[in-house]
Homo-oligomer: A and B are copies of this chain.
């Protein structure tokens, strides 16, 4: 264990050289590192590899607009002069943070939040607050239909007297399943005292911890977690631009974006040749820095051509280039207007953007004009590498697939409605969950897995995934199996009635 150096130093700002860091670091950060280099060596070493350890904000602010990684107009005096180190973030806005605690003479908080990051990355934090992902916690927790779906998946079932019963999931299960990605509520539940290598210390006890979900409710009241994509203390733009980051939450059959990307030509080029690409530059030059898009290229990044002309502006409102929402809900539909989707009500009073029979609930959804704007923003990205006819042809297929997969979902839904009506399954009319029976789960798979997988395969040209892997084969087979089951069940009722 090293002796903390601060006691020996007469200067407020240290050179970082002692730690292999090129930027000057603050006295407070110096103190953090002195112990944590031994207590949590991976964190310190990760940070040392970050741009935060190499460039001070004052320098970052001087870059021309397109090269700026810091969007704030100014950064408060002292912060601008040193590396962005431990103390800079973990002591930011202490009064707002319920998780602030006294630690070695500093007011430290555990959870760094978008509001903390906004000090330098203002535009990104503001955009992200309008991104539907920032509302991922509430959009699940406060939507009774979806909350019920989650319970039916995560609850514990028992079997007694030939019947199954469901116990709702405990908080630990919820935190490591749905809310792992959607975000937990991180709140302070008390204090605990613990023996450490530095003697006895107090620490806050947090609920929902650990978590780095995109819609995390933070102890300062803000929403989201920048570290979901800009991972932990290295904050690597390379990592945020690589598809593996998105895959953490967007790989399962409910949202198989990464799996589709992997089998697409784009994904193939990335896997085969990406090792030669440059994932660092801002702005990101199409064709020079990379020769096929990653998730970030199409959905978020600032890209330019070699002449320096902007292809797409950076956005952290990830739906800016998305006219349609193709997953998670029963039918594909225009994107919702508000990132808070709990405001939506359909004619049946359900918090869904379409009726059960597919008609969009237009007032809560973006209009054709906004769709056109977003479609054009995306097309501009495509046109960097593809001819006009190519892009139009691709898009025509995609929108056709939205219609056919919606039709295939409607077919399954009609069977579901028949089962409820005929009493061989119990639904809303019986005040029962619509996700707890085997037949209802088959219906849910039709849209939650197969229809949306087919749409992703179409959207991103990963055809192989959309046919046999998890797409049309299952979409078509599922309907026949549902028909089989329905026929059997209704015959069974007839038999019973006869006897």
**Which A positions have Cβ atoms within 8 angstroms of B?**
2, 37-46, 48-49, 110, 152-160, 162-164, 170, 172-173, 175-178, 180-181, 194, 196, 203, 205-206, 209-210, 212, 231-232, 234, 236, 238-239, 242, 244-245, 247-249, 251-254, 262-265, 267-269, 271-273, 275, 286-288, 291, 305-307, 309, 311, 383-390, 393-394, 396-397, 400-401, 404, 407-408, 411-412, 414-415, 418, 436-439, 441, 448-449, 457-458, 461, 463-469, 471-473, 476-477, 479-481, 483-484, 486-488, 490-492, 495, 498-499
Contact = CB atoms under 8 A, between A and B. Distances in A.
Contacts of A252: 464-465, 467-469
A170 B449 CA distance: 22
Nearest to A275: B275
Contacts of A236: 272-273
A108 to B, nearest CB: 11
A389 B492 contact: no
Contacts of A152: 476
A162 B389 contact: no
Contacts of A176: 397, 401, 457-458, 461, 463, 466
A472 B153 contact: yes
Nearest to A311: B41
A112 B307 CA distance: 27
Contacts of A466: 176-177
Contact of A268 (B156, B248, B275, B481): B248
A316 B476 CA distance: 36
Contacts of A415: 159
A183 to B, nearest CB: 12
Contacts of A206: 389, 393
A463 B110 contact: no
Given A170-B404, A209-B393, A411-B159, A307 B41 contact: yes
A463 B155 contact: no
25 contacts: A40-B385, A41-B286, A41-B306, A41-B307, A41-B385, A42-B286, A42-B287, A45-B288, A154-B472, A156-B404, A156-B411, A172-B396, A173-B397, A173-B400, A176-B458, A176-B461, A177-B463, A177-B471, A180-B464, A210-B389, A210-B393, A239-B268, A251-B263, A438-B480, A441-B477
Given A236-B273, A239-B268, A252-B469, 17 more contacts: A37-B305, A37-B306, A37-B307, A41-B385, A42-B384, A43-B287, A43-B385, A46-B385, A48-B287, A153-B473, A159-B412, A162-B418, A173-B397, A248-B263, A254-B467, A439-B484, A498-B499
A157 B251 contact: no
Contacts of A471: 177
A468 B449 contact: yes
Contacts of A390: 209-210
A309 B41 CA distance: 10
Nearest to A176: B397
A245 B273 contact: no
Contacts of A418: 159, 162
B245 A38 contact: no
B49 A291 contact: yes
Contacts of A163: 483
Nearest to A182: B463
Contact of A464 (B181, B263, B288): B181
Nearest to A194: B388
Given A306-B37, A477-B438, A248 B234 contact: no
A154 B404 CA distance: 10
A170 B464 CA distance: 18
Contacts of A487: 162
Nearest to A169: B404
Given A172-B401, A287-B42, A480-B436, A231 B269 contact: yes
A458 B291 CA distance: 36
A44 B311 CA distance: 15
Nearest to A304: B41
A209, A268, A383, most chain B CB atoms within 10 A: A268
